[in-house]
Amino acid sequence: MDAMTPNAEPSKDRLSEITLDQKSLGRTNANIEHEREVAIFDIIDGNSFAIEGFDDGPYTLNLGLADDRLQLNIGSVLNPALLQHSVPLTPLKRIMKDYFMVCESYYEAVRTAPPARIQAIDVSRRSLHDEGSVVLRERLASKIVVDSDTARRLFTLLCALHWKG
């Protein structure tokens, strides 16, 4: 087979653009800003995002916070205001609080702690991040189906929105 053979058309069940509601963004720091930028880049680079009952992708996504809920405003080329979906934050609050505390410890440890201590904190950080992404994925599942990598990165963006500094 020729190496120049075109690949199959990309899936419609994906995100092609992500924006964050500027009114929802709290105070931030360089670490959170970096996490946000990397998560958006990684999601756009490869994701799986399907909406139950729709086949209008690829989709655009604007994430925001409203009334203690994650607000997902989803659009497509054919319909810029395709769907609004919100997810209660209550099931994620404890995880996010613990995640923020561990992240602060991690960022502090990177400056002063020995590598073994940094690695131990990072294991806790990753574990909480995984737990948060699983809960977020479950909460989205009634309307939006995402793969685990997309859920992890969406959890990162949720944390970037919810971060109070």
Tell me the whole-structure pTM to 2 decimals: 0.85
Quote the tokens at residue 53: 């009952």
**pLDDT band for position 152 (50/70/90)?**
very high
Please tell me the predicted confidence (pLDDT) of residue 27. 67
Tell me which of 6-10, 32-36, 40-44, 103-107 is least confident. 6-10
**pLDDT band for position 145 (50/70/90)?**
very high
What are the φ and ψ backbone dihedral angles of 43, each rounded to 5 degrees? Answer: -65, -50
Quote the tokens at residue 147: 């793969």
- Domains of the chain, residue spans: 15-162
Please tell me the predicted confidence (pLDDT) of residue 162. 77
